[in-house]
Structures are given as structure tokens and as C-alpha cells.
Amino acid sequence: RKEVEQDPGPFNVPEGATVAFNCTYSNSASQSFFWYRQDCRKEPKLLMSVYSSGNEDGRFTAQLNRASQYISLLIRDSKLSDSATYLCVVNLPNFNKFYFGSGTKLNVKP
Amino acid sequence: EAQVTQNPRYLITVTGKKLTVTCSQNMNHEYMSWYRQDPGLGLRQIYYSMNVEVTDKGDVPEGYKVSRKEKRNFPLILESPSPNQTSLYFCASSPQGREETQYFGPGTRLLVL
């Protein structure tokens, strides 16, 4: 079983739509959670960390559900520039290892 | 400018010919890591280093070596490359790993014939 699983998509949405991605993780000892954005096989870049209380950054909201072992990313008012692949990342601090999901592709259409 | 650099960016080689991909960061980060990215599999961690002279295996270390003699450099060595090591490789660094953001290099596309 993969440590981190994501729906690969693609999610095709019109501009202005709200879209949500979920990511599940298998190890309950996971302590740190992140969403990264990756454009067209370029390097991943941090979008936001995910905190237990949930956090928001402009149009982006991330939430963590430890009981069900999933994290989510909500994008409101989608822009064309949001088109990318979104990677879910979890960290096992005892082992200093990071596990990436295979990514969810988002296409925002005019 | 704070950055992670990798060289070369593109490499075509043949089976068995030893190669090294360099990685350097100028942010004085303690944690550095190598990943490979393959379609449908996402990024998988090859090796990581918590500090100078401290390295450890990630999830897919077979066929790779690393060294961390200086804080800023973390080269990835393929002693005898094979076609299944054809991939996109990323180096990353973070202040101390664990809960912190990782900064990625631009990637190295490797083709092993």
C-alpha cells in the first residue's frame, strides 16, 4: 500500500469554480503535512503547510483530518494560472523521510 | 539569491558508465535529499542527509550512492547506471528537514541507454 494516495485526475474546471482535492495517508505517525504545486515537470514548490487547525491563504484552504488520515486542499475562484499538478506530502519525523503522492492534475479552462 | 542548483540539467549516457549529478545549496541548510520522479509514481526519496557526514537511505536507494562532505553539497552517484534509472531527479534542501519546507533544485533529466 502506498504511503500517500491521491486521485490523479485530471480535474477539468471552468474559471471561477471551486475545486477540492483529497489525499489519504497510511501511517498514523505522520506529523507534518504539505501541499506542493508542480508545473509541467518543473521543480515542486511549496503551496502551503497543513496545520491541525486548518489554514487558509487567500483562495486556498487546507485541512487535516487525523482521525480519517486525510488532508484536503480547497481552491476557490479558480484562475487559469492555477492549472498545475498538486502534490500531497507527509513527513515521518522519526525517520526524517518525506512521502509524496503521485499528484492531482488540475486544468482550469476559460 | 537563495537557491538549489543541480548539474547537469540533462544527461544521456549508456549502461554501466559511472556518473555524478551535483547538488549545491547556498542557504546553509542542514537537511538535503534526492528524489526521483517517474510517471504515475510521484516523487520517491532516494537518500537524505541530516548534516555533514550523516546520510541515510530513502525508499529507493538501490543503485545510488551519496556523500555529504560539505554542508552545501550533496552529490548523487550512479556507479553503474541501468535503463531503469532513467528518470527525472530532484535535489532538495531544508533548514532541518522534518516539519520544514523543502526547496527543490530545477531537476536533472537522465536517460540511460
Cβ count within 10 A of residue A36: 23
Task: Name the DSSP letter for residue B73.
Answer: B
Spell out which residues of chain B touch residue A102, defining contact as CB-CB under 8 Å: 40-42
Sorted by sequence, the CB contacts under 8 Å of residue A29 that are 6+ apart come out as A92, A94
Q: How far apart are the CA of A14 and the nearest CA of chain B, in angstroms?
A: 25
Q: What residues in chain A have their Cβ under 8 A from chain B's Cβ atoms?
A: 4, 8, 31-32, 34, 41-46, 49, 87, 91, 93, 96-103
Cβ count within 10 A of residue A61: 18
Sorted by sequence, the CB contacts under 8 Å of residue A53 that are 6+ apart come out as none
d(CA A61, CA A56): 4
Q: What is the pLDDT along chain B (113 residues), one digit of tens a residue?
A: 889 999 999 999 999 999 999 999 999 999 999 999 998 888 999 999 999 999 999 999 999 999 999 999 999 999 999 999 999 999 999 987 656 789 999 999 999 99
Task: Please give the interface size between A and B, counted as residue pairs whose CB atoms are below 8 Å apart.
Answer: 55
Chain A: residue whose CA lies nearest to B43 = A100
Spell out which residues of chain B touch residue A101, defining contact as CB-CB under 8 Å: 42
Cβ contact (<8 Å) for B105 and A46?
A: no
Contact B4, B102 (CB under 8 A): no
